[in-house]
Structure 1
């Protein structure tokens, strides 16, 4: 369920003052509507620069997401916006990220963004998984796998993002080709089998209008996709069909229905293929 968004102006004055120790007096504050996890999400600027701020109260149920993003940020060079500063004061945990130019990725069939996302996922596959606390993919999927033995396909030692929502992909058309995409929102970073992010991407591609075959063709652009048998991919599709069915049942809306339908269609394609 989405976290209720509040404006930067509703923070305690001490928290705002702590932010301005890093930024200088703020000249502009543009509240951001995208995203589900943050109470504070805004693009701010001052005489010295521009930042994207994400924040939660330290007693919030999802406060761990701020800690996770802060812990993993130093290891994400060329994959994500850099974390410039962190403020923990007056009951708030605030992260100040490099403000990137760009737009959300377009996943539609034929989109020029698709090769850029594939290139980013290849870079991610080559990035060492840091020795920090991360959940394991098989733990996250254990309640959704069709068979307990399926979990072996999901285990591994690679760094995963796991939330390939196109809103988490920023594309800057002015950057060099092949290096235009960046991944944001690393709260659900996970340790697991290298091919899983390509699998998560498949579901979002189907939701954006691809056939399962077309979506799998894009996943095949990621070398790690070829490291698991079809049995493992089918097990992953089954687990995600169960996961999205549960999400849609708990919070039915057009967005969750679209993902549940996509995950189910992929699983049916594999099961019947």
Structure 2
């Protein structure tokens, strides 16, 4: 469900004042054009540096994602994502302020120099354990309605912190490193899941053939060592999920991801 974007300048005066007090006088604002999951998303330049503000109205049905991103930030700050500078809920708004990562969206095309950087990032993430006290959705819950059988869900269980949305617009490359932004859908699951999600996006956004996408994802040891049955079960679940998302009318973006998920499943079935 897309959210109508609100320019940062239109936030209540109290929120703009609080931002300036915390970050220094605001010099410039660039409202994001991509991504539609937040009410507010903007890069802010102040006397103290560059920051990225994400926010939702407190009555938004997905406002819980703000707390989710804040709660996991200490596990990914700097090593795998931007650091959280400040969070506050007031004046009807829930705002997260992150250090800005100035770089480019990862290029997923075959032969891209960004691919090894993303593989290195996902290799690191496959070792990050989700703290016991974190309130996270479980991978087997999120995919529960789409798996071919209940026993397939066992493949997805684990205690790794998974991002689960490897859209290349969520991967920023800067200073020879790839990092992930938008951790709203962080999930507890098996160590190889993010690399498996990457396969779908390599096909959809990078125009890889399924076998080539898998070969690229195998640069991540956790995926390389995942049982074939587990990977196929994951492909089945995601093909079913995207078929449901695109049922009836769909936009070109979701149709492309659905086509990638279906192509990957056909490849897995032919093995």
With the length of structure 1 as denominator, give the TM-score of the two structures: 0.95
Q: Structure 2 CA distance, aligned partners of 1:159 and 1:72?
A: 9
SS across alignment from 1:41:
strand
TM-superposed CA distance for 1:250, in Å, is 5.7
TM-superposed CA distance for 1:149, in Å, is 1.2
Q: Structure 1 CA distance, aligned partners of 2:107 and 2:8?
A: 29
Partner of 1:188: 185
Contact 1:158 1:193 in 2 (8 A): yes
1:138 equivalent in alignment to 2:140: yes
Q: Structure 1 CA distance, aligned partners of 2:76 and 2:270?
A: 39
Contact 1:102 1:170 in 2 (8 A): yes
Partner of 1:56: 56
Partner of 1:129: 130
Contact 2:217 2:224 in 1 (8 A): no
SS across alignment from 1:249:
coil
Kindly report which structure 2 residues correspond to 1:252-271, keeping only aligned pairs within 5 A, or say none. 252-271=250-269
Partner of 2:98: 97
TM-superposed CA distance for 1:192, in Å, is 0.7
Gaps of 5+ in 1: none
Partner of 2:221: 223
Q: Structure 2 CA distance, aligned partners of 1:3 and 1:119?
A: 32
SS across alignment from 2:247:
helix
Q: 1:118 to 1:185 in 2, by over 3 A?
A: same
Q: Structure 2 CA distance, aligned partners of 1:126 and 1:152?
A: 19
Partner residue of 1:147 out of 141, 144, 149: 149
TM-superposed CA distance for 1:220, in Å, is 0.8
SS across alignment from 2:30:
strand
Aligned pair count reads 268
Contact 1:153 1:228 in 2 (8 A): no
Deviations 1:165-184 (A, max 9, x none): 00000001xx2x4xx11100
SS across alignment from 2:183:
coil
Partner of 2:163: 161
Contact 2:126 2:160 in 1 (8 A): yes
Note the aligned Cα RMSD (angstroms): 1.1
Q: 1:99 to 1:251 in 2, by over 3 A?
A: farther
With the length of structure 2 as denominator, give the TM-score of the two structures: 0.96
Deviation above 3 Å: which 4+ runs of structure 1? none
Q: Structure 2 CA distance, aligned partners of 1:148 and 1:164?
A: 25
1:86 equivalent in alignment to 2:87: yes
